[in-house]
């Protein structure tokens, strides 16, 4: 079933949507400021990607953030009342987590990430776009392990795929901060641009990608994301189950601070 932009433009309180020349632009936010990773985002972001994919007027996607951060902080108040450290409570995380990243991969239109600032919470999401550009203020980090959690909600798939198995494991286990210049050197980021050029450049790239004839863009997207989608089908649920089992066995608590200091003083960055 197809839908139109008017059906979902105001549906998601954490996303500002705008479309020009077939380019659907999604700016993630929390009350107009940089997005806090909250319960509604976790629950509904996959639905947003599904809606974008059901709209035939969308020819390419630009995903960006708002303010000085892409996503770097939690919204703890939004999670109050959710007993995620019980087997029944973690079902919510498992169910929504399986859909979150796969819905993004299932989009059949070219995708461009315009990362506007630090992406230290679910930084793997914008890095899954076909073309990734970022400002000089961007850093990446995954804090699952150093915060006492198993990095099993897709981080265990995406980061080793991007960094390689050894460096990917080290990145996840040490909580290293990855500077954008190093990320570009490692092939995670296509271009680093000035802040004022970020969206301009993202739109230029998206327009170029959307200009492919016929079904070339859609079939290229499917082809080039196939290996990652296969990895998600094989390992995403497994990782989420292990993350939940660890959370239910003992409350999350930070790993020794020495690990964080070691990452800050060397690590991947």
Q: Which residues are catalytic?
A: 124
- The Cα–Cα gap between 64 and 138 comes to 12
User: What Å distances lie between residue 52 and 92, 197, 231, CA to CA?
Assistant: 23, 25, 23
Location of structure tokens 């991947």: 268
CB 119 within 8 A of CB 138: yes
Q: Which helix (H) or strand (E) holds 261?
A: helix 257-264
88 CB-contact burial (10 Å; exposed 0-12 / middle 13-18 / buried 19+): exposed
Give Cα separations from 269 to 42, 70, 147, 183, 194 (angstroms). 28, 19, 19, 8, 21
Token pair recorded at residue 135: 């400002």
Interatomic CA distance for residues 59 and 53, integer angstroms: 9
CB within 8 Å of 210: residues ≥ 6 apart: 21, 22, 23, 59, 60, 109, 110, 217
């Amino acid at each position: 079933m197809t839908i139109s932009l008017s059906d979902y433009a105001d549906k998601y309180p954490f996303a500002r949507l705008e479309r020009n020349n077939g380019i659907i632009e999604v700016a993630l936010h929390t009350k107009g400021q940089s997005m806090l990773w909250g319960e509604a985002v976790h629950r509904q972001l996959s639905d947003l990607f599904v809606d974008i994919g059901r709209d035939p007027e969308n020819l390419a996607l630009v995903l960006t953030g708002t303010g000085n951060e892409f996503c770097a902080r939690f919204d703890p108040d939004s999670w109050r009342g959710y007993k995620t450290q019980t087997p029944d409570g973690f079902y919510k995380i498992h169910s929504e987590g399986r859909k979150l990243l796969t819905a993004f991969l299932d989009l059949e239109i070219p995708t461009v990430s315009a990362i506007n600032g630090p992406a230290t919470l679910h930084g793997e999401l914008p890095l899954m776009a076909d073309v990734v550009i970022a400002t000089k203020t961007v850093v990446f980090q995954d804090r699952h392990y150093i915060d006492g959690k198993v990095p099993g909600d897709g981080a265990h798939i995406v980061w080793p795929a991007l960094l390689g198995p050894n460096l990917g494991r080290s990145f996840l286990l040490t909580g290293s901060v990855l500077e954008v210049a190093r990320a570009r050197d490692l092939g995670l980021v296509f271009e680093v641009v000035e802040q004022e050029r970020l969206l301009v450049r993202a739109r230029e790239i998206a327009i170029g990608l959307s200009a492919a004839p016929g079904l070339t863009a859609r079939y290229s997207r499917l082809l080039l994301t196939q290996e990652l989608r296969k990895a998600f089908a094989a390992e995403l649920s497994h990782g989420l189950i292990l993350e939940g089992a660890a959370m239910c066995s003992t409350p999350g608590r930070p790993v020794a601070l020495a690990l964080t200091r070691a990452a800050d003083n060397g690590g991947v960055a």
